[in-house]
Amino acid sequence: MAKAIEQPVPGITVGHAMIARSKGAPQSITQMVHDGDTVNVAADGNFGVRLLGVDAPEVSFELPRNTGRPDVPKGFVKITNPAWTVFLADPFEAGYPPLSLRPALHNHLSTRLDEQTAANHAAHAGPSTEALRAMIAADITEQGLTPETFRLRMAFAHEILDRYGRLLCYVNREQPTAPRPPYYNERLLAAGHVMPYFIWPNVDPFVKQQSTPALAVPAPGGALELASKGALGRAREAVRQARTGGLGLWNPADPLRLFPFELRYLAQRRAPDRFVVDLSDEGSELLHPQSYFRIPNPEDRLFVNAEHAPLFAEKGWSVPGL
């Protein structure tokens, strides 16, 4: 399907648009051009939307090349493919592109990598996908709408697009009157269908955003206060309850072994590059990207992109390497 926003080459994001529509028909050029620096447009293609704060098991992903395995499938490959079983049993096998991991992280991962890891991931990916589909379908029915008349409400935080040109937001059904149901992001976390994945500064789209990320940096020792408020606080509590209840990915009989972002960086042969704040204490240190596992509960991890780490250092945080 055509995308309204895409990356034709890595690092370059472009959009595609048409003349804005009025009642389904193109506006006149006079209507379209508001002034000398503003035009009204309509998306030409579909938007990809990435739900903030959550990370679902991968249904498919690209496998890395292996010089000793010329039969590795190309492109996005379903996690159910036997090639994934082979890869996740030993992603450090000779022949794959190099991946430089610290011994502690290597050992942490190795305890969860074997011939069952891919099957475990695939088994959890299906219910996660179906859960979101079912939530949307139920909302359409409950509102007495059709797929043609159903509308989505999107709430944005600091960053509007991710590195793949997808919109970053909390997503809910459009509903003119309160009370509204929780956003899909929160519903999925509460049911245990997704893992939390909080990336600063996109932690709460329901508060007035600071004009620059620098102004949003919490003071050293302020993570605990930040973690207890608003959307972030609700999301963390939803995860705790889901884990306590053994729901979905937290099923004690068969919990998710490998987190989605771990599968991705193993397959991409790219070591973790986001620093981490521990939301469970009042410390003033950003952990090294490869030390994220030192924070046991994933809802207590607040990831910080490398380009934002200097902002934390300027505010007085201790940042490895800075």
Percentage of residues of the chain with pLDDT beyond 90: 71
> What is the pLDDT, as a whole number, of residue 4?
82
Strands 152-161 vs 76-78: parallel, antiparallel or unpaired: unpaired
Instruction: Give, in order, the Cα–Cα distances in Å from 209 to each of 91, 202, 205, 235, 299.
Output: 41, 10, 8, 19, 22
Q: pLDDT-based confidence at 215, cuts 50/70/90?
A: confident
Determine the Cα–Cα distance for residues 265 and 273; give it in Å rounded to an integer: 10
Evaluate if residue 300 carries a pLDDT over 90. yes
Q: pLDDT-based confidence at 177, cuts 50/70/90?
A: confident
Question: What is the rounded average pLDDT of the residues 216-220?
Answer: 92
Burial class of residue 125 in the structure, from the number of CB atoms within 10 Å of its CB (0-12 exposed, 13-18 middle, 19+ buried)? buried
Scanning the structure block, which residue is given the tokens 């995860």? 239
> What is the pLDDT, as a whole number, of residue 61?
96
Structure tokens at 81: 């493919």
Determine the Cα–Cα distance for residues 123 and 256; give it in Å rounded to an integer: 9
User: Which amino acid is it at 183?
Assistant: Y
Percentage of residues of the chain with pLDDT beyond 70: 98
Q: pLDDT-based confidence at 1, cuts 50/70/90?
A: low
> What is the pLDDT, as a whole number, of residue 9?
75
Determine the Cα–Cα distance for residues 316 and 163; give it in Å rounded to an integer: 28
> What is the pLDDT, as a whole number, of residue 318?
96
Scanning the structure block, which residue is given the tokens 């050293």? 220
Structure tokens at 111: 């305890």
Q: By mean pLDDT, which of 95-99, 208-212, 272-276, 277-281 is the weakest?
A: 208-212
Structure tokens at 274: 């986001």
Evaluate if residue 35 carries a pLDDT over 80. no
Instruction: Give, in order, the Cα–Cα distances in Å from 63 to each of 6, 45, 72, 82.
Output: 21, 28, 7, 11
> Could you write out the three-class secondary structure of the chain?
CCECEEEEECCEEEECEEECEECCEECCHHHHEEECCEECEEECCECCEEECEEECCCCEEECCCCCCCCCCCCCEEECCCHHHHHHHHCCCCECECCCCCCHHHHHHHHCCCCCCHHHHHHHHHHHHHHHHHHHHHHHHHHCCCCCCCCCEEEEEEEEEECCCCCEEEEEEECCCCCCCCCCHHHHHHHCCCCEEEEEECCCCCCCCCCCCHHHHCCCCCCHHHHHCCHHHHHHHHHHHHHHHCCCHHHCCCCCCCCCHHHHHHHHHCCCCCCEEEECCCCCCECECHHHHHHCCCHHHEEEECHHHHHHHHHHCCECCCC
Is the bond into 201 cis (omega within 30 degrees of 0)? yes
> What is the pLDDT, as a whole number, of residue 91?
97
Name the pTM for this structure.
0.91
